[in-house]
Amino acid sequence: MTTMKTYQALCRLFAASLAVASFACGAMTVQLNTPPTIRVGDTFDMDVVINDAFTGKGPLEEILAFGFDVTISDPSIVSLIGVSVAIPFDDDSAFFENTDVAGSVFPGIPNEGSNNTLPLATVTFQAMMSGTVSVGIASDLSDFNEGLVYSLDPPADITASAGVAVVPLPTSIWLIGSGLVGLVGIARRKKAA
């Protein structure tokens, strides 16, 4: 009788561990890296990196592809210039009309410890005018081409945003520039006299 109770307790423990593992898949995080200071006229990059991509996934799981859209809260402050998909992914962005950035890899990226941090792409922006803007990525999981696509599990949402402050050029540069223009004007007057 005790072996039966032990067996039932082990079955409950196994079922509970499966339930915990299925909730742990939400531990994947999307990291957006932007430079700390951005000035008007600067071109800057935002690196899109997935951390803990295989948390809660089985040992046979692989990453096959990804897709997302680039979001900009105010396009008058920052504009999208281009995107570079990270190695080992192939750039599939041109194939999908409603997806800004897409990449695929074959064979898939296996669930190994060295693949827990995974760069997806670098998004390049141009700072047009000063102000604060939110830039980011968003995946629509109802679109088959978006999200982080696994071989066995359903796609994972890869949505994140970061606040970016674009600052004007320092006034000291304007002062130096106007001083140089003044000196050139004085030199021309002396030369003409």
Give the residue among 107, 69, 104 at the shortest CA–CA distance from 87: 104
The answer to whether residue 37 sits within a structural domain is: yes
The answer to whether residue 105 sits within a structural domain is: yes
The answer to whether residue 153 sits within a structural domain is: yes
The answer to whether residue 174 sits within a structural domain is: yes
The answer to whether residue 11 sits within a structural domain is: no
Q: Are 44 and 80 in contact (CB under 8 A)?
A: no
The answer to whether residue 18 sits within a structural domain is: no
The answer to whether residue 10 sits within a structural domain is: no
Total structural domains within the chain? 1
**pLDDT score, position 193:** 66
Tell me the residue range of the domain where 153 lies.
28-186
pLDDT digits (tens, 9 = 90+) for 13-46: 333 332 222 223 356 789 888 888 889 999 999 9
CA 98 to CA 3: how far, in whole Å? Answer: 58
pLDDT digits (tens, 9 = 90+) for 65-108: 999 999 999 999 999 999 999 999 999 999 999 999 999 999 99
Assign residue 46 the CATH number of its domain.
2.60.40.680
The answer to whether residue 21 sits within a structural domain is: no
Burial class (CB in 10 A: 0-12, 13-18, 19+), 63: buried
- pLDDT class of 167 with cuts at 50, 70, 90: confident
